[in-house]
Amino acid sequence: SDAVVDKSGHSAATKAALDTSHFWMPFTDNKAFKSNPRIFASAEGMHYTSSDGTRILDATAGLWCVNAGHARREIADAVTRQIANLDYAPTFQLGHPLPFELASRLAGIMPDGLDRIFFTNSGSESADTALKMSLAYHRARGDTGRFRFVGRQRGYHGTNFGGTSVGGIGGNRSPFITQLWGVDHLSHTQGNAVRFQRGMQPGNEALADELESLIALHGGETIAAVIVEPVAGSTGVLIPPQGYLQRLRDITSKHGILLIFDEVITGFGRLGAATAAGHFGVTPDILTMAKGLTNGAIPMGAVAARTGIYDTVLDSVQSGIEFFHGYTYSGHPVASAAALATLKIYEDEGLFQRAAALAPVWEDAVHSLHDAPHVADIRNLGLVAGIELAPREGAPGARGTAAFQAAFESGLLIRTTGDIIAMSPPLIISEAQIEEITGKLRAILETLR
């Protein structure tokens, strides 16, 4: 047979039956993938099932998003009910209750004062929304000279033009030639840290002072916002030194520059708290979210802004539209229903607290790999870990790719960026499954060339 019947009774085409020619796959080596596709048929809890029936332990929560585990019945039911009741309603000059309700719920778990919520459909849209919100805010105050943004090397803020520009990944920028104008980048926070660092440690927090140098260079009054991921995720889990984020906060506040935390990965329990801002005790002016907001089940993102930012923008016009920005699907009923059901799961099951409680177990487990072959560094925080492999001579990234493939074949989903393995399991993971991950990884590393 060339089809596998998944648990809902649908048949999923196997690799052999699948026409892979038309889907232009994102961030994928299309030719390599299509010559040997890895296809999922279904998912439940901590596992995917591939089209050939193999169970795959998900050590990455999909793409850092399925924080409550896969195929949650409560979310599926909420989505189904919502589509049948009110499938779509615009939120431009019209409304329906769900995004209002969701915004209130979100405001309740955001850091103090970040209680005005704008809805988007993705992390990339959240990043661009946050940048535009900063510009709108300064302009509303009559502070029209602030047009610059400061991002960070190895920062990832999605793939729209704003996010790509403030992002610090050459490979995502150079193919497209043009970028947003007036953007500088701080150094990333890796390389100054001790290897095999457990959790967050003291280090070179003075890296934040590079912002003072940019201020001296350009004039602080020209900078609209600084955007960073509190913990850089997709470029390999870079943990900031203790005090670094607070220092960025102090410098931005001193110069009237807005601080944006991109919490697309760190939000919704990844570090054992609702937000990294809450975990670190550093409050930005604007905070972006996506991914875990709907447990990955329906696309949705959000941006939380300080009340004062909202008030300033609203007060700047007597009547009429205050912020010329938004999406057809901002506050989409089905996405809102999925998000409300997701937040209820997080709360009912205490998943953020669970992540905090499991973090030491996770830390011990991932660091037990320090003596495995090829391992050059290990870093962790909350339920995130980065395992950096020594690159193969003359072939950077090859070992990472081989590790990813070997893991998949042995029933383990990891993520690799170059030679760095990144892991971020669903917060429902058990201690036994944590051990299973590290056991499988050790076996893979031992056979890896």
Residues that bind ligand PLP in the complex, under the rule CB under 6 A: 122-124, 127, 156-158, 229, 233-234, 262, 264-265, 290
When the beta carbons of 189 and 234 are compared against ligand PLP, the nearer one is: 234
* Phi, psi for residue 300 in degrees, rounded to 5: -165, 145
Minimum distance from residue 160 beta carbon to ligand PLP (Å): 8
- H-run or E-run covering 56: strand 55-58
Q: How far is the CB of 201 from ligand PLP (least distance, A)?
A: 22
Kindly tell me which of 140 and 277 has the beta carbon lying closer to ligand PLP.
277
Nearer to ligand PLP, 372 or 384 (CB): 384
Altogether, the residues listed in the chain come to a count of 449
CB of 39 to ligand PLP, least distance (A): 21
Closest separation in Å from C-beta 232 to ligand PLP: 8
DSSP string, 327-338: -TTTT-HHHHHH
CB of 261 vs ligand PLP, minimal distance in Å:
9
Taking the C-alpha atoms of residue 285 and residue 283, their distance in angstroms, rounded to an integer, is: 7
Smallest separation, CB 127 to ligand PLP (Å) = 5
Tell the residue number behind the tokens 């990944």, with chain if given.
169
Question: To the nearest 10°, the Cα dihedral for 152, 331, 322, 104?
Answer: -90
**Closer Cβ to ligand PLP, 158 or 168, answer by number:** 158
Secondary element (H or E) of residue 58:
strand 55-58
Closest CA to 268 of 203, 351, 206: 351
Nearest residue to the partner ligand PLP, using Cβ: 123
193 versus 422: smaller Cβ distance to ligand PLP: 422
Give least dist CB 172 to ligand PLP, A: 11
Taking the least distance from each CB to ligand PLP, the nearer of 148 and 154 is 154
Strands (DSSP E) found in 218-318 = 223-228, 258-262, 286-289, 301-305
8 Å CB contact between 244 and 208: yes
- Cβ closer to ligand PLP: 179 or 222? 179
Least distance in angstroms from the C-beta of 446 to ligand PLP? 30
Q: What is the DSSP string of 351-377?
A: HHHHHHHHHHHHHHHHHGGGGSTTEEE
68, 249, 375, 427 from 341: Cα distances, Å: 11, 33, 40, 16
What residue has token string 């009237």?
A: 256
Is the Cβ of residue 58 or residue 436 nearer to ligand PLP in the bound state?
58
